[in-house]
Structure 1
Amino acid sequence: MPGALDGVRVLDLATMVAGPVATMILADQGADVIKVESPRGDLMRHFSRGRNGMNAAFLSCNRNKRSLAVDLKSADGLEIIKKLIATAHAFVHNFRPGIAERMGLGEEAVRAIRRDIVYVSITGYGTKGPYANQRAYDPVIQAMSGLADIQRDRDTGRPRMVRTIIADYTTALTAAQAITAALFASERSGQGQHVQLSMLDSMISYLWPEAMPGLTFVGAETDPSDGEVGPDLVFATQDRYITAAALSDDEWAGICRALNRQELIEDPRFKTARDRSINAVERRTITSAELEKWRADEILRRLLANDVPCAPVLSRFELLQDDQVRENHILEEFETKAFGKVRMPRAAAQFDRTPATVRAMAPVLGADNAAILGELGYEAADIARLEGNRVVHNQPNKESADG
């Protein structure tokens, strides 16, 4: 069955992670995503050797796409992109401000070719301000957005980074939703629009409701870090780490019963959710000390019997064998000619009528040059000339990347 975005064509000029993951989500949902790369390819292709010329990071950010490797600095290369624009519903890039315009691919130039196109520009900091033209990678955004401060060490006060590129993925999810909304609006109105979003915007919006409520009421600001500097929600038991959370009164009563500390249920320090928030450091310290008295399997059974949200802290290898992950087929394996057996997560959103599926692995560089150019009306002799003039480029001696 076709996906929800079947018939939608997206030109993806974005590199690295945020933009490519956003367009990969659209590709999973059926869009024809054409990844436009320079003859050298997206930098993500070069971070590790991987298998048969494909590394795992690039593979996991670019499945279900087609690759066109073209020199955009050449007149013939720019002409190819202009012809593609005429066939596309969305145009996505993550150039720094002003670069697209200098390339001849700013919004005005693109919209002159296709009036109703959704033009999407993803930046690090936005188009204005002192940081607008600086390079932005995930750790920089973690530092700027307040996330590193939120993660600071409770003993030393040293800020710390989340050990995954959370700002990139948050931006990717924000962008995918925004692109879909803009496509929906275009379908209804017949008009395109410019969608602008930055990594800094996305991350601050993501963090605000939970990490910065104390800054919400103007004139009555409180320190958002109050109560944050106690032990975190990873607890040691006698044999392994677990997590457990008690937000509601019933959950707090449940954790107290599970720990045989029923007297804490009526303790005025922890009587209400507000009390528990005010006294969060003391509450977590007590909880941590009590959990250390138990084996993980025993206390997890007791917590679950009292309807307390809890789980073991799994290693990444344990994740592969976890019953919940396996029962829901969250991870899938694919046999491919080019890369052997490949494991990756399925599309997270499952549609019952227009399924999101993994149809193909990420393409090798320029794998679809001939097919895409042929769709645009280029004859075999034209394609040979473009290849000879190094306007388009193919990664040599690689088999098909299809799953």
Structure 2
Amino acid sequence: MTDSATATGPLSGVRILDLTSVILGPYATQILADFGADVIKVESPSGDIMRHVGPMRNQGMGHIYLNLNRNKRSIALDLKQEAARDALRRLGATADVFVTNVRPAAMARLGLGYDDIRKVNPRIVYASATGFGARGRYAGKPAYDDLIQGLSGIAAIAPQAWGGEPRYMPLAIADRTTGLYLANAISAALFHRERTGEGQTIEIPMFEVFVEYLLGDHLSGLTFDPPEGPHYYPRLVSKHRRPYATKDGHVCALVYTDTHWRNFFKAIGREDLLVDPRFSTHGGRADHIDAVYAFVADTLKTKTTAEWIALLDQADIPVAPLHDIASLFDDPHLNDVGFFRFVDHPTEGRLRMTDVPGTWSASQPAVRSLPPNLGEHTTEVLREAGLSETEITAVLGEKAPRG
């Protein structure tokens, strides 16, 4: 890890007040923190709800929290108290970005809306992650990953591919997709401010972001008016689009381009199929995608996983082993690039952590600090904002966590 004072990430020197919780917002702000920003995580006295989701070694330090909040400082404020809200506005005067996933109406009632923060800092980038855009009838409604997966249509597409009942993807894909969008939007707003000097408020609605994400693949025939073809991308929902069974396990392979297919047929001794209209062109394969996938599936059952990886690698056809979560830690490429590291957390002991993806030639992001305990930096940050010891005591009271 590197010291925060010597951080060289591209956002080094940017200060972010982070009032987000759960997954979407903390994922976005962790990306920005990895990029060098000084992210101050503002929590209630009970902490971000994800602190309390196990497994964990100590209360308030659950695994998802640990994997969403590195490179941040934590302050604990009871925003029901006017003194705490005053302190947060003073912090707002020192910040570049104010980001929240609390409903805008609630923030306004607290005196912490965009207009309130802009009064003390006209250059602020004020980012709100919401469930739904403010101009629509769903504005203000609660939104969680499960709801957005269902409302967007992705849960209903699943039976096309897997059969059975509608189901959610087994990851918080709507939260994390929107978190990526939010991090991009904040970075772009900072760039705009560098060019123009203008702060602004931005709203990133989860529903709209995820529908756009989904329809990039599945608008399909509805792209056209009147519609042309199916209402989804057939290749992605084919029941045969899955890891292929081999004689002793599974392998992931994609025979996709014309060159891939020529090489594949040559490798398996079936060059006669090069003139089969189902296989000879990309359009033909798209029109017969189930038959194409089924042919590959039947073929790959004839050899072992190791044999197919060697044969397809030699034929320059994309191929990879099928990992589970545990086997990822033995992946030779990830170990080559040092993607996993063990760190010693001051209260949580030995932890496995992923590194920041990517390589930068001039401003390499880095893991500078480990996920903080609740309120670990409260006193430190409030002092930086110019609060006196008397004011800090008034803000925190006797029971609030403090650093």
Correspondent of 1:393 among 379, 388, 401 = 401
Aligned equivalent of 1:101:
108
Distance 1:385 1:118, change over 3 A: closer
Distance 1:121 1:387, change over 3 A: closer
Task: Tell me by how many angstroms 1:113 deviates.
Answer: 1.4
Assess if the C-alpha contact under 8 Å between 1:230 and 1:280 holds in 2.
Answer: no
Task: Tell me by how many angstroms 1:330 deviates.
Answer: 1.4
Aligned equivalent of 2:96:
89
Identity of aligned residues (%): 37
Assess if the C-alpha contact under 8 Å between 2:162 and 2:239 holds in 1.
Answer: no
When normalised by structure 2's length, the TM-score is 0.93
SS of residue matched to 2:42: strand
Correspondent of 1:290 among 293, 299, 321 = 299
Matched, 1:17 2:26: no
Distance, in Å, in 1 between the alignment partners of 2:66 and 2:163 is 39
Residues 70-100 of structure 1 show CA distances to partners (whole Å, capped at 9, x for unaligned) of 0111110000100000001111011224111
Distance, in Å, in 2 between the alignment partners of 1:115 and 1:97 is 18
Assess if the C-alpha contact under 8 Å between 2:87 and 2:395 holds in 1.
Answer: no
Task: Tell me by how many angstroms 1:394 deviates.
Answer: 3.4
Distance, in Å, in 1 between the alignment partners of 2:92 and 2:51 is 25
SS of residue matched to 1:10: strand
Correspondent of 1:5 among 8, 11, 16 = 11
Aligned equivalent of 2:273:
264
SS of residue matched to 1:71: coil
Task: Tell me by how many angstroms 1:58 deviates.
Answer: 0.1
Aligned equivalent of 1:114:
121
Correspondent of 1:238 among 232, 247, 250 = 247
Residues 186-239 of structure 1 show CA distances to partners (whole Å, capped at 9, x for unaligned) of 011000112111112221222223232322223234323345333113111111
Assess if the C-alpha contact under 8 Å between 1:259 and 1:291 holds in 2.
Answer: no
Correspondent of 1:167 among 169, 174, 177 = 174
Aligned equivalent of 2:45:
39
Matched, 1:317 2:323: no
Matched, 1:150 2:169: no
When normalised by structure 1's length, the TM-score is 0.93
Counterpart amino acid of 1:30?
G
Counterpart amino acid of 1:125?
F
Assess if the C-alpha contact under 8 Å between 1:230 and 1:282 holds in 2.
Answer: no
Counterpart amino acid of 1:184?
F
Assess if the C-alpha contact under 8 Å between 1:145 and 1:203 holds in 2.
Answer: yes
Distance 1:263 1:150, change over 3 A: farther
Aligned equivalent of 2:348:
339
RMSD over aligned Cα atoms: 1.8
Task: Tell me by how many angstroms 1:153 deviates.
Answer: 5.1
Residues 290-326 of structure 1 show CA distances to partners (whole Å, capped at 9, x for unaligned) of 1111100001111111111111111111110110110
Assess if the C-alpha contact under 8 Å between 1:63 and 1:361 holds in 2.
Answer: yes
Residues 102-126 of structure 1 show CA distances to partners (whole Å, capped at 9, x for unaligned) of 1111111111111111110111222
Distance, in Å, in 1 between the alignment partners of 2:160 and 2:230 is 17
Task: Tell me by how many angstroms 1:389 deviates.
Answer: 5.2
Distance 1:311 1:155, change over 3 A: closer
Aligned equivalent of 1:66:
73
Counterpart amino acid of 1:115?
P
Counterpart amino acid of 1:70?
L
Distance, in Å, in 2 between the alignment partners of 1:268 and 1:221 is 22
Counterpart amino acid of 2:26?
P
Matched, 1:55 2:62: yes
Counterpart amino acid of 2:402?
N
Distance, in Å, in 2 between the alignment partners of 1:177 and 1:268 is 44
Counterpart amino acid of 2:191?
F
Counterpart amino acid of 1:89?
D
Aligned equivalent of 2:140:
133
